Amino acid sequence: MKPYTIESYLDFTDPTFDTAQKAAINSVRDAFGKTYPLFIDGKRIDGAHSPFTSINPSNTAEVIGTFQSASRDQALQALDAAWKAYATWQYVPAAKRAAYLFRAAEIARRRRLEINAWMISEAGKNYAEADADTAEGIDFLEYYAHEALRYDEGMPVVEETTGGDINRTIYIPLGAGVSISPWNFPFAICLGMAAAPIAAGNTVVAKPAPDTPMMGWIITEIFEEAGLPAGVFNFLTGDNLEVGETLTTSPDTRFINFTGSLGVGQHITEVAAKSSPASRFIKRVFTELGGKNAIVVDEDADLDTAASEIVKGAFGFQGQKCSAASRVIVHQKVYDALLEKTAQLTRALQVGDARNNAPSGPVINQKAVDKIMGYIEVGKTEGRLVTGGKRANPGVDGFYIEPTLFADVPADARIAQEEIFGPVTAFIKARDLDHAFEIANGTRFGLTGGFFSRNKAHIDRALREFHVGNLYINRKNTGALVGAQPFGGFNLSGTDSKAGGRDYLLCFLQAKSLTERPAFGETQVRSFSYATEG
């Protein structure tokens, strides 16, 4: 077995990759408009309610596909199927579970350009953003497979104690749970949030966001081709309240893995904590809930590098990342110079159809447009609009907004405190480094941060004092790599479960301590394996 390595990105400045990606886009466009089922207990079934369509945010006249709306009963049916599969899946050896994930990773590699093409079409990502998403999904499969093997070795303990007792502690899975994933990383996060518990021996009901159901269906196809037993992975689409609320409130849901908005995450945490006479366990809840991320720029920073990285962090995928740089906190001595450099790069971003690999594509839907434009209007009263601030019109009907930069924003302004989730960032002036860190830490969130400086003492201060889950020095604050930069935040940014890190599978495991005293006359304890298959 090869050691884990991070999947390399494709270079779309190479005409070979660019041409191949365009061909893949044309190929999936020929498949637009098809109808896709639910997937419960290994069977394709229709939803009980009227289906819905997924549309192309770059061109709203185009329908990606038609998807089923599951009912409350079908949601519970999927959960029952997951528990039925768990009865045997929990005892499948870790090596065999890992083999399914390794096989799935190979299938995803084979379909890489196709997956990119569907994501470009359904989520509005440009080529590089889509490919990074796909690569991250492959990384999750590979990394969690390796981690399942590591946890299978158990917890180190004192093996022999008084009385001849032999001790060991093993990790066993929790049961059947629910994964509710977002639209902004529709392949990687949906796949990773399901693959981790599955690798650990659990079973999953996965509900992707209604804006990107096609990506969830592709994951279903991948797991099915990999041979995953029926019921281990179940795929549901439908109403967030009817399906999502049913699954999160059911006393039979053992764990909930959620990535999304703060409000929904807080609601899930609240309802999951409530017990009923039917409860058999305390549900585990893992959440990643967004941020109001800052990049802090010191007075001696390389301003050209800082400006370039700020634009990448603020406007990559139109700022629709929970890690996006929505605040830029700058030492007063370099504030004006950095603002001008950043504004020039922001104005140069071309807005257009993701199909054509535009640097800045659409936001996800009309609701997002309304929210972002509302915040832009607020920003005009709180700061100085430097560039952007309007709907963009690249010649096709889509959800386009110009990359928008505000300056002279107070630290307590709404656009400096509330998550916008769009192509908007705010420049804030700091008197000195103390003031900069005070502003940076002065939000309810604590997900990512960036710090630009040449001063080693100041960098050390940032490493200690900048209170975020993922801190980046002299580079953009987005793009965490699986196995290298475990991802998750502090405060109201979530439970900091650190996806893509060594602790993540432990969320879906419980430690079982085993002590055995040899029977009279025996000299050693017999061998034991939790697995019963294989």
500: left (phi over 0), alpha (psi -120 to 50) or beta: left
* Residues 201 and 173 sit within 8 Å (Cβ to Cβ): yes
Quickly list DSSP for 441-466: T-SSEESEEEEE-S-HHHHHHHHHH-
Q: Which of 475, 416, 403, 479 is nearest to 445 (CA)?
A: 416
Cα→Cα distances 308→120, 305, 335, 480, 481, Å: 24, 5, 15, 18, 20
Q: Which two tokens stand for residue 142?
A: 């590979």
Q: How many whole angstroms separate alpha carbon 437 and alpha carbon 294?
A: 10
* Residues 384 and 428 sit within 8 Å (Cβ to Cβ): no
Q: Which of 187, 216, 191, 283 is nearest to 70 (CA)?
A: 216
Instruction: List CB contacts of 396: < 8 A, sequence separation 6 or more.
Output: 58, 59, 352, 353
- 355 phi and psi angles, rounded to 5 deg: -55, -30
Residues catalogued as catalytic: 288, 322
